[in-house]
Chain A
């Protein structure tokens, strides 16, 4: 309060130290590993038996169970069909994302991205590095229960939601 006592240098130093440590603490408290993101869009998609996997928080166990059930269907029918299903267009902050999946004998064999934000160089950059990672993960998991790519949270969310809707439509 008292203007005769202020020491500007001390105040500057204090402010700097407090701010830097505050920001560092905030960053340190946040998880440093990738976590699956919540997907508000999936809640709206039609509930199918395999929709247990639609909640991205429920990770591998339910995902693998849905994969097993797919294999079971394939086994009884004994047919090897190739099916292409287009997912919903998901609006993200930076633009729409839409994927198309290819199912061979009920198994997810390819994910094709129809739309992804790439109007500006940065969006394109993000799409360029995130889409291959997402596709790889999706094929490995055989579901939409995959982690989002860091630095591409919104593209990932859109991708995962669209993928989920495609899987739902395919009736797996």
Chain B
């Protein structure tokens, strides 16, 4: 049994201390950086005369902004703890997708405007000018290769194609970005007027890119290596919790020292044929204990379906903890947890550990049928011990869906508007609940949710 752990009880005794997400200061900082980059251009450009030079100048601006944005795009995926656990992995992933698209648009604009402008100046055709630019300017062949790679990455990340691709294929193609950034970096310094003119600008640019490279090496390479050398995790056992829902128990050394909180997840890689090459995010379904972690997974894809067949002793490579759907999000005493299907996983861990007085904590669990209520016995035991409310909603025998309405919620929890609500479930359901909660009077800032839809 994994519930009723001492670790869980200790967590549940903590004081409620809401922490502010550093999202706003970070966004402000990013914009300030963009302003500095624009100032670099402004400072270095005495005038812009004629159409051709306007095109070239626009090409420079978009190029500078694009290169700056790409540095941010990489930093967003460097798994920096402040971003992953305080802003939230889901939100950062959305930032990443958004700024990635923006960066690629800027790069395309930069290429088109620059070549067009140069061909206007030299009165040659666009194609011959493009050839000239690539062959005659320093580091431009590298830049061409890098840009093509960026375009490939952008192309495969486009929604329609992404969905049809295997996650692993998409992921490994995405790693091309690092090569692309390396290849395109040099032409910025050797042909960029702003950098040729000023050693300060060059230094600043090196600092920006080296910082980002340092973050990637530190948090994506060294930190996971250290974690796995220290904790040496292995599969302990697998347990079928409900039809299609499986728990994997993972043993290791000093697992309570991982710093994982209830509601967080790790990216798991099981070192066994077929699973070795993909790392998937799964939430902890119980607070970590000194020698044991547990994840609970619904079989939806190739990876998650294969988890049930894991043999005890299989080595596990984990990266994390990530995610901001933790106790730090809440601002008040009363909490409602809404779980849909396999979305119970983080809610189960929070149910045990969220500090709350008896009666202040409610969990509403939505599933297809009572058989599908995975972890139900544990939840009941926790509810009993903590004096928390536990409710479920399942489809009727005729398959009719239970209505979770604003009025229904208010009837059960008259003071729902004074609750913090954590919700986790399949995307459609989560969106539906979000609107229901808003109608029931819960302010948006008190609805805590993680969604990995980009």
Q: Is residue A81 within 8 Å, beta carbon to beta carbon, of the partner chain?
A: no
Asked if B52 and A151 sit within 8 Å, CB to CB, the answer is: yes
Q: Is residue B197 within 8 Å, beta carbon to beta carbon, of the partner chain?
A: yes
Measured CA separation A126–B434 after assembly (Å): 61
Interface size class of B (residues with CB under 8 A): 35 or more
Asked if A153 and B102 sit within 8 Å, CB to CB, the answer is: no
Task: Give residues 121-138 of A contacting B (CB, 8 Å).
Answer: 121-122, 125-126
Measured CA separation A101–B98 after assembly (Å): 58
User: Closest approach, in angstroms, between the C-beta of A6 and any C-beta of chain B?
Assistant: 8
- A122 with B118: in contact, given A26-B42, A35-B46, A93-B196 (CB under 8 Å)? yes
Asked if A151 and B434 sit within 8 Å, CB to CB, the answer is: no
Asked if A1 and B23 sit within 8 Å, CB to CB, the answer is: yes
Asked if A35 and B47 sit within 8 Å, CB to CB, the answer is: yes
Nearest CB to that of B88 among chain A residues?
Answer: A1
Nearest CB to that of B433 among chain A residues?
Answer: A4
Residues of A within 8 A of B65 (CB): 19
Measured CA separation A2–B444 after assembly (Å): 8
Nearest CB to that of B91 among chain A residues?
Answer: A1
Which residue from A11, A23, A32 sits with its C-beta under 8 Å from B49? A32
Q: Is residue B38 within 8 Å, beta carbon to beta carbon, of the partner chain?
A: yes
Q: Which of B55-63, B178-186, B356-364 contacts A (4 or more CB under 8 A)?
A: B55-63
Asked if B90 and A4 sit within 8 Å, CB to CB, the answer is: no
Asked if A30 and B47 sit within 8 Å, CB to CB, the answer is: yes
User: Closest approach, in angstroms, between the C-beta of A3 and any C-beta of chain B?
Assistant: 5
Measured CA separation A126–B136 after assembly (Å): 14
Measured CA separation A150–B98 after assembly (Å): 37
Q: Is residue A34 within 8 Å, beta carbon to beta carbon, of the partner chain?
A: yes
Measured CA separation A1–B329 after assembly (Å): 14
Q: Is residue B121 within 8 Å, beta carbon to beta carbon, of the partner chain?
A: yes
Q: Is residue B304 within 8 Å, beta carbon to beta carbon, of the partner chain?
A: no
Residues of A within 8 A of B41 (CB): 26
Measured CA separation A153–B193 after assembly (Å): 11
Measured CA separation A6–B101 after assembly (Å): 16
Measured CA separation A133–B359 after assembly (Å): 86
Which residue from B102, B193, B453 sits with its C-beta under 8 Å from A15? B102
Measured CA separation A23–B105 after assembly (Å): 14
- A30 with B57: in contact, given A2-B434, A3-B90, A122-B118 (CB under 8 Å)? yes
Q: Is residue A33 within 8 Å, beta carbon to beta carbon, of the partner chain?
A: yes
Asked if B38 and A26 sit within 8 Å, CB to CB, the answer is: yes
Which residue from B46, B98, B449 sits with its C-beta under 8 Å from A153? B46
Residues of B within 8 A of A16 (CB): 105
User: Closest approach, in angstroms, between the C-beta of B427 and any C-beta of chain A?
Assistant: 9
Asked if B453 and A3 sit within 8 Å, CB to CB, the answer is: yes
Nearest CB to that of A30 among chain B residues?
Answer: B48
Q: Is residue B228 within 8 Å, beta carbon to beta carbon, of the partner chain?
A: no
Asked if A11 and B98 sit within 8 Å, CB to CB, the answer is: yes
Q: Is residue A120 within 8 Å, beta carbon to beta carbon, of the partner chain?
A: yes
User: Closest approach, in angstroms, between the C-beta of B183 and any C-beta of chain A?
Assistant: 21
Asked if B48 and A23 sit within 8 Å, CB to CB, the answer is: no
- A32 with B122: in contact, given A4-B435, A26-B38, A93-B196 (CB under 8 Å)? no
Measured CA separation A16–B246 after assembly (Å): 46
Asked if B47 and A34 sit within 8 Å, CB to CB, the answer is: yes
Asked if B61 and A32 sit within 8 Å, CB to CB, the answer is: no
Q: Is residue A105 within 8 Å, beta carbon to beta carbon, of the partner chain?
A: no
Residues of A within 8 A of B62 (CB): 19, 23
Asked if A4 and B49 sit within 8 Å, CB to CB, the answer is: no
Nearest CB to that of B449 among chain A residues?
Answer: A3
Measured CA separation A35–B435 after assembly (Å): 59
Measured CA separation A118–B5 after assembly (Å): 77
Residues of A within 8 A of B430 (CB): 4
- A32 with B52: in contact, given A4-B431, A26-B42, A151-B121 (CB under 8 Å)? no
Q: Is residue B278 within 8 Å, beta carbon to beta carbon, of the partner chain?
A: no
5 residue pairs bridging A and B, Cβ less than 8 Å apart:
A12-B101, A31-B48, A33-B49, A35-B47, A122-B122
**5 nearest CB pairs, A to B:** A150-B49, A120-B136, A31-B47, A30-B48, A3-B451
